[in-house]
């Protein structure tokens, strides 16, 4: 995969966004969803790309595990097929991502939690699928995109920075290690948040996620642990 674009911004008042996106949801906190292009070379720390920040309270409290949001450009074509009315807004930057890459195999069914990648001299680790909030529907002016992306791991991948440094547009995204080959972004998203026909309540799946230190805790490991406790409580 190759880095096509790098984006970063600080949070802005939601009224500013709503001026151009009337369907933007009413929220009490600022948002950094609308990110301009930066670079071509940027400094990267454990807190993410220099100059980038989040206004979402959950992300602020767990910035290290959500330091970078990566998005694979072919996903936009997939979403345009599903939501043709939003085709004009389904372009780079349409998910508030930091990195846009392009590779046919860098898809939710292939990328796994715990994967370590080198980009420039930065080493990052995938910590989970993004579980998008209603801002996705609001930005694109359609209903159902948020849920569809959440259930299928199509809203981007969160990454933790293990080695600080710099990366640039044009850098290759090189896989260094894959610790959990059976736990792809797609499997975790569908297993945690998918409809009943794909949701996974098996003890193996929930136990693995609950104990997977590489996976984001809040809303991810905690969800798995809550469901595991409930199931084990029924079987006692």
Share of the chain above pLDDT 70, in %: 95
**pLDDT above 80: residue 235:** no
Burial of 135 (0-12, 13-18, 19+ CB in 10 A): buried
- Kindly list the distances between the CA atom of residue 101 and the CA atoms of 69, 154, 174, 204, 207, in Å, as whole numbers in the listed order: 11, 14, 12, 32, 32
Least confidently predicted of 10-24, 45-59, 75-89, 154-168:
10-24
In this structure, whether the domain defined by 5-188 belongs to CATH 2.40.50.100 is answered with no
| Terminal-residue alpha carbon distance, the chain | 48
Residue bearing the bigger pLDDT, 83 or 18: 83
Q: Compute the distance between CA of residue 189 and CA of residue 220 in angstroms, rounded to an integer.
A: 9
- Give percent above pLDDT 90 in the chain: 78
- φ/ψ (deg, to 5) at 218: -65, 130
* pLDDT for 101 beyond 80: yes
Where residue 144 falls among pLDDT bands split at 50, 70, 90? Answer: very high
**pLDDT of 7-66, one tens digit each?**
999 877 777 777 778 887 776 667 888 899 999 999 999 999 999 987 765 666 688 999
pTM of the model: 0.92
User: Given a cut of 90, is residue 162 above it in pLDDT?
Assistant: yes
φ/ψ of residue 73, rounded to 5: -55, -40
């Amino acid at each position: 995969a190759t880095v096509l674009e790098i984006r970063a911004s600080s949070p802005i008042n939601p009224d500013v966004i709503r001026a151009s996106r009337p369907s933007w949801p009413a929220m009490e906190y600022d948002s950094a969803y609308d990110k301009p292009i930066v670079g071509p070379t940027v400094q990267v720390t454990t807190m993410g790309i220099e100059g980038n920040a989040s206004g979402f309270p959950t992300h602020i409290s767990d910035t290290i595990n959500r330091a970078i949001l990566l998005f694979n450009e072919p996903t936009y074509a997939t979403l345009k097929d599903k939501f043709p009315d939003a085709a004009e807004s389904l372009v780079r930057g349409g998910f508030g991502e930091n990195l846009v890459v392009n590779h046919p195999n860098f898809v939710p069914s292939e990328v796994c939690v715990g994967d370590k990648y080198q980009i420039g001299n930065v080493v990052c680790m995938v910590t989970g699928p993004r579980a998008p909030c209603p801002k996705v529907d609001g930005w694109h002016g359609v209903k159902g995109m948020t849920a569809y992306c959440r259930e299928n791991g199509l809203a981007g991948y969160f990454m933790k920075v293990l080695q600080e440094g710099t990366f640039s547009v044009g850098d290759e995204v090189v896989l260094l290690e894959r610790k959990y080959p059976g736990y792809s972004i797609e499997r975790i998203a569908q297993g945690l948040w998918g409809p009943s026909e794909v949701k996974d309540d098996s003890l193996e799946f929930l136990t693995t996620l609950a104990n997977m230190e590489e996976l984001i805790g809040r809303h991810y490991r905690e969800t798995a642990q809550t469901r595991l406790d409930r199931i084990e409580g029924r079987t006692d």
